[in-house]
Amino acid sequence: MTRTSLLALLILALACGDDDTPPPPDDAGTDAVVVDDAGTDAGVRDFPAERPPLSTVPSVGVRREIFYVPGATPPANPVTGDATPSELDFTQVLRYRRDVTPAAPARAIVICMPGFLGGGGSFEGLARALVRLGLDGEGSEGEAIEVWAIDRRANLLEDLAGMDAAEVLGDPEIAQGYYFGRDTVGGERFGGYLAQDDLPYLSEWGLATHVEDLRRVIALVPEAERRDRVFLLGHSLGASFTEAYAAWRFGEGDEAVSGYEELAGLILVDGALGDAPSTEDAYRNGSTGGAFPSPGLDGLRAEGGSRYTSLPLLGIDVYARAEISSLRALAAPDAVVADPGRDRVLAILSGLTPTRFPAMTNEAALAFAFDDQLQPLGFVRAKLGRLVGGPIEEYESALAPVTLLRPSDPDGSYSWEDAPLRDPDEHTPVRNLAESFVHGRTNFAEWYFPTRLPLDLSAVGGANVEDDGWQAMAGLRSFDGELVDAPVLAIANALVGDASRYEAVRARLAPTIGEGRRNAGQTRVGEGGVANELGFRIVDAVDLEHLDPVFSDETVETNPVPGAVVRFVGEHAVEGTITVEVPDALPSEE
């Protein structure tokens, strides 16, 4: 199922509602501070402004560094005339490498593009696993892999002052008071979430902008090394982006270079482009049919356009609530904290009124929002364990056509049995989920996800659009999908649902691995139609939920993803190593 169809399902269900659904939360996107009952009775407090360091050690043997790469300069919104502020023309990159000084030479660099509503932090578990395993799977003595997780430019719009102070000072309630109370950080009060009309230039943050941003990141690797060592991995919508990037033609005539020519391989995790492009009319004017009406490009650019995606009823503040819940789960997993705003969100997800939602531990409250037995939306699910401590009932979700579980005792107090304590079919420890939201100067989510990006990806479905067609006139240049001669690893999880769906991807690529590559001449399909795994490998892991591959790590025996990526990279990266110099910080921080 595509990202668009999943969101369509969400919007339709939330629009219908049921008798148990509470009213919408305070309006996200206004200048007003959202105030909950929690954390407002003690008076206004001010906390020092603190920021986590750019370089940290999130787990033994792994160093995580943040660096910034100057990006493209998008055109101004042609309707309003508003241009992107120059301080936002950057990509934030999370670099995971072995914790040694100087940096260990790496045989391969895996660049990770997140999915819908996702930030670079979403790859925390997988990135650590790849670094620890190395190319021989034996850890620190083997050949090194570096992982660069992309935080798209919209992440620079987030006000993380409360989160940063809470993380550094070790008190989750600093963030609660900042975002949902009256507290200040460094004397400054949270100014509220940015409204759609505050960001008119987001209408131009589409595929062309993000492709150019990524190419500038890849350009940090010497040109002669890219085709041998740089692997592009995309999760969910990021997998669609990976296909589109590989087919993108940069420049014209004899100077033209396509994205795949500077990549050693493609890794698609639970996602792929659509098989065919949208129509020009739907792209320009939008579509009103079905459950998910699209505004189209003209609607995005117009006054009042929906430049970023905000989930109905849940709003933008749901990301801050998730990060605060993660801080609490790490600091005091077994404690019970009263948080009416958080419970309202969990009640919406489970079809309960807030008055019927019971108390639960910090760990349980975080896991509740993502666990596959409790969360109705497939694109935010992982197998995290189970809710315990009180009676549980089955119910039919109004948000998706699934039967789920929910607590049935509003006066109870529930806790969580973590994945490592469960049967082998549970994949992700809750701590892994929490750390993807918390660690460092960024997080799992992208608060202001540009609506233009999925619109453009729909327009280049199949990655073989005509170079004189309407897509080209719109600046969308995924012309060369049929020429892509890089090897591909395609991993099917619960969202793809059927590994055979990747056969459409196999069919639209060049039939053999190209000249000059380590496995040149290998075909995509061997004799008798049997897959040639050196050319195109499919991993059937549909028992993993959509987020398990990026949250989970090499310590979970039932998770095949880290091992599959290590094997693929090891087969296709050439011998030898490279050390890449990366920028230290934003110019304003140097």
Q: Is residue 446 part of a domain?
A: no
352 with 290, same domain?
A: no
364 with 467, same domain?
A: no
Name the domain count of the chain: 2
Encode the chain (590 residues) as per-residue pLDDT tens digits: 344 344 333 333 333 333 333 333 333 332 323 334 444 445 799 999 999 999 999 999 999 999 999 999 999 999 999 999 999 999 999 999 999 999 999 999 999 999 999 999 999 999 999 999 987 666 555 689 999 999 999 999 999 999 999 999 999 999 999 999 999 999 999 999 999 999 999 999 999 999 999 999 999 999 999 999 999 999 999 999 999 999 999 999 989 999 999 999 999 999 999 999 999 999 999 987 544 567 899 999 999 999 999 887 788 999 999 999 999 999 999 999 999 999 999 999 999 998 899 999 999 999 999 999 999 989 999 999 999 999 999 999 988 899 999 999 999 999 999 988 776 668 899 999 999 999 889 999 999 999 999 999 999 999 999 999 999 999 999 999 999 999 999 999 999 999 999 999 999 999 999 999 999 999 998 766 667 889 999 999 999 999 999 998 877 788 899 999 999 999 999 999 999 999 876 656 64
Q: Is residue 445 part of a domain?
A: no
Q: Is residue 426 part of a domain?
A: yes
Q: In the block, which residue shows the tokens 């109870």?
A: 412
Q: Is residue 14 part of a domain?
A: yes
572 with 516, same domain?
A: yes
Q: Is residue 162 part of a domain?
A: yes
429 with 473, same domain?
A: no
Closest CA to 376 of 19, 118, 21: 21
Q: Is residue 47 part of a domain?
A: no
Q: Round to whole Å and give the CA distance between 158 and 178.
A: 14
526 with 378, same domain?
A: no
246 with 383, same domain?
A: no
Q: Round to whole Å and give the CA distance between 297 and 452.
A: 7
423 with 290, same domain?
A: no
| Inter-CA distances, 322 with 245, 337, 399, Å | 31, 14, 19
Look at phi and psi of residue 158 and say left if phi exceeds 0, alpha if psi is from -120 to 50, else beta.
beta
13 with 159, same domain?
A: no
Q: Is residue 27 part of a domain?
A: yes
Q: Would strands 144-151 and 106-113 be described as parallel, antiparallel, or unpaired?
A: parallel
Write down which residue in 409, 438, 467 finishes a domain: 438
110 with 219, same domain?
A: yes
299 with 213, same domain?
A: yes
**Maximum CA pair distance of the chain?**
74
For residue 297, give its domain range: 55-309+454-589
323 with 288, same domain?
A: no
Write down which residue in 438, 473, 500 finishes a domain: 438
303 with 320, same domain?
A: no
Write down which residue in 438, 465, 497 finishes a domain: 438
Q: Is residue 483 part of a domain?
A: yes
Q: Round to whole Å and give the CA distance between 521 and 132.
A: 32
Instruction: Please report, for the domain that includes residue 565, its CATH number.
Output: 3.40.50.1820
Buried b (16+ CB within 10 A) or exposed e, 17-37: beeebbeebeebbeeebbebe
